[in-house]
Structure 1
Amino acid sequence: MSEDTIKRKVIHFIFLQMALLQEISRVASRYTKMMFFYQRNSIINLFKENEQPEKERPKVFAAVAHITSVEESNNPEKAAAKIERLRHTIDGLLTSFAHCDLSIAIQTLPNRHVTAYLPEYQLKCIQIQEGPECDPMFVEFRLQEEFVERVEEFDWFLFIEDDIVLYDSFTLEKLEKFNQQSGYDNAILYPNRYEMYQGTKRYIDLTIEQPLSWNQLSSVEIEGVKFAEFSNPHAAVYCLSRKQMKHWIKSGRVFKN
């Protein structure tokens, strides 16, 4: 056998061994990956005992008082401004309580609302409750009956007018902290309404007055933050916990009780 033939056979043998090693490595790698894949569930189950239980989502019932004229309810062009306001109000609720089980009820009167002109995604999220005819000024008081009837179904009860926009995902956390630390079972935390006008934040209810009159009836300070009595309590929105609702019901539903 010639020297060249021997060299070729040696080279072929070396390349064959290299190819075999490469194939063995590829098969071993694939087998290892498959083994880890099928063991994944077993490994995950080992850590399940230490998992924190998922926190139950708060149940929030939001009632929106909404009244328009008959003419506006039948003519979306004339009602354009009110449609836009109601749409922003609902979007604010969906944004602020996205982490909650939220139910939204539009409290209104027959032929006195513009809900038919809301976008489809909002119509899927709301209940339209047309009560019997009454003075429109009493609609927001009548919806309190709904709160009373459903007091065991929800954790929080929110009232809001149809032109108020709430954009604060920490609303419930702020209320809960205040309720726990204020020291008053009958104390309610109200937000201050404001409007933005030409880049200026304007408190339309004049609740910010100079000089400030702190603690006219009570003394509340939580984590360095002072809470003052309202000088003009027209927030057009309030939110009661179930405990507060029961306290209010027990009082005979007397204002300021």
Structure 2
Amino acid sequence: MAKRSDRLGRLNSSIKNCLISLRRYAVNSTALLLTTLAKIARVYRAKWKMILFYQRSRVIKLFSDSDIEVEKPRVMVAIAHITSPQEAEHPTELGSEKVERLRCTIDGLLSSFAHCNLTITIHTLPGRHVVKALPAYQRQLVQTIDSPDCNPMFVEYRLQDTLIDHVEDYDWFLMLEDDIVISDSSFLEKLSKFNQISGGLNFVLTPNRYEMHEGRKSYIDLTICSDCAWDSFSLIESDGIKFAECVNPHSAMYCLSQDQVRYWLKSGRTWKNKVIMVGPLESAATFCLLECFCLYKPHPKNLNYLEVRHYDTKYSKLCPDASPFILSQQH
């Protein structure tokens, strides 16, 4: 009996060990199979992604949108540009800074309004400009108007007549001085949106003007004004962007829609050729507009919503003191 019991014990132990071995084999085989299948799936998934990638352009072309024609806004630009006779005669030696400013101004226009039908005119006097020193591609694109019968300080008033004479030919009319650089392809869209929300032709949005000097960005028309303030009663807000009338509305430029130029013309322009405030340049570029327009700027909450660069540093040097309108990464 003892021997029989011992044999049964050994048999049970052998069966148990065999079952354990079979279970381990099954687990290992299953793990191997699943790992192999996962690897195969990853390989095929990667290949499928590559197949889809190479077919991507064909799929896009299959469902391509043929309606891509865009009606280009017609924009007329008038740049006021006057140099000394010496700078005009020797632009490389004496007028290189004026050449660089004008070149950057024109390049800014070509970039920001590349999606438009653009006409650029430069208003000056004979022997008082450096247009001949501009790059060839710019000389081919600009029209120089240098009629002699004008006081150099009143050229900006004279160019207004050119803009108004073409009121039926363009959608937008942009006047700027020769050191104002625009770097914003959405410039017209922002003006158009403001015109819609303001509710009247007599509301004009002008940009904040800044200079860059030693890494600091100075909004010069705000820093130069010691009592700069914003009219809370004039506040307009849309999609979180605020606009208001400012004590100093000057930007050395303005951009009017066709309807706004017509509105301006109907006013009679009785402030034409008058020194309204500061001097003839500032009067022609800004303050004469106040005869019939309310001039707005982006609010301090969003100064950079619409801005242009003054390609100079003189006002930054004139007003270097700390100000909420001077932005810098320096501490």
TM beyond 0.5: yes
CA–CA distance in structure 2, aligned partners of residues 136 and 210 of structure 1:
30
SS in 1 for 2:212: strand
Q: 2:73 aligns with which of 58, 63, 69?
A: 58
**What amino acid maps onto 2:82 in structure 1?**
I
Partner amino acid, structure 1, of 2:105: T
1:218-229 matched pairs, under 5 angstroms:
218-229=234-245
Matching residue of 2:164: 148
Q: Which amino acid aligns with 1:154?
A: Y
Q: Deviations over 1:29-76 (max 9, x none)?
A: xxxxxxxxxxxxxxx9x989x843622100100000000011110012
Question: Per-residue CA shift, 1:170-221, capped at 9, x if unaligned?
Answer: 0000000000111232011100110111111101112697997443552311
Summarize deviations over 1:227-251 as a string: whole Å, max 9, x none.
1212212201110000111111111
CA distance 1:209–1:149, shift in 2 (3 Å): closer
Match of 1:37 in 2: none
Q: Please list every run of 5 or more consecutive structure 1 residues that lacks an aligned counterpart in the other structure.
A: 1-43
Which moves more between the two structures, 159-168 or 130-139? 130-139
Q: Distance between the aligned counterparts of 2:228 and 2:134, measured in 1?
A: 41
* Contact 1:214–1:227 (Cα < 8 Å) also in 2: no
Counterpart among 238, 246, 251 of residue 230 in structure 1? 246
1:74 alignment partner in structure 2:
89
Aligned twin of 2:143: 127
Aligned to 1:182: 198
TM-score normalised by the chain length of structure 2:
0.60
How far, CA to CA, are the matches of 1:152 and 1:207 in structure 2?
A: 39
Q: Does 1:244 align with 2:260?
A: yes
User: Take 1:208 and 1:171, find their aligned partners in 2: how far apart are those partners?
Assistant: 25
| 1:228 match: secondary structure | strand
Q: What is the distance in 2 between the residues matched to 1:78 and 1:105?
A: 24
Contact 2:72 2:117 (C-alpha < 8 Å) held by counterparts? yes
Query: Which segments of 5 or more consecutive residues in structure 2 lack a partner in the other structure?
Result: 1-60, 271-288, 293-331
Paired residue type of 1:253: R
Contact kept? 1:85, 1:163, Cα under 8 Å = yes
**What does residue range 150-169 of structure 1 map to in structure 2 within 5 Å?**
150-169=166-185
Which residue of 1 is the match for residue 110 of structure 2? Answer: 94
Equivalence for 1:198: 214
Name the count of aligned residue pairs. 212
> Helix, strand or coil for the counterpart of 2:161?
helix
User: How far 1:132 sits from its partner (Å)?
Assistant: 2.1
Contact 2:230–2:247 (Cα < 8 Å) also in 1 = no
| Alpha carbons of structure 1 residues 233 and 213: separation in structure 2 relative to 1, 3 Å | closer
Q: Distance in 1 between matches of 2:226 and 2:63?
A: 58
* Residues in 2 aligned to 1:206 and 1:124: alpha-carbon distance in whole angstroms: 37
Rg larger in structure: 2
| Corresponding residue of 2:123 | 107
Aligned residue identity for 2:81: H
The verdict on how the C-alpha distance between 1:143 and 1:78 changes in structure 2, with shifts beyond 3 A counting, is same
- Cα distance in 1 for partners of 2:269, 2:81 equals 23
The question of whether the paired residues in 1 share the 8 Å contact of 2:228 and 2:247 is answered with: no
In structure 1, the residue corresponding to 2:221 is in which secondary structure?
coil
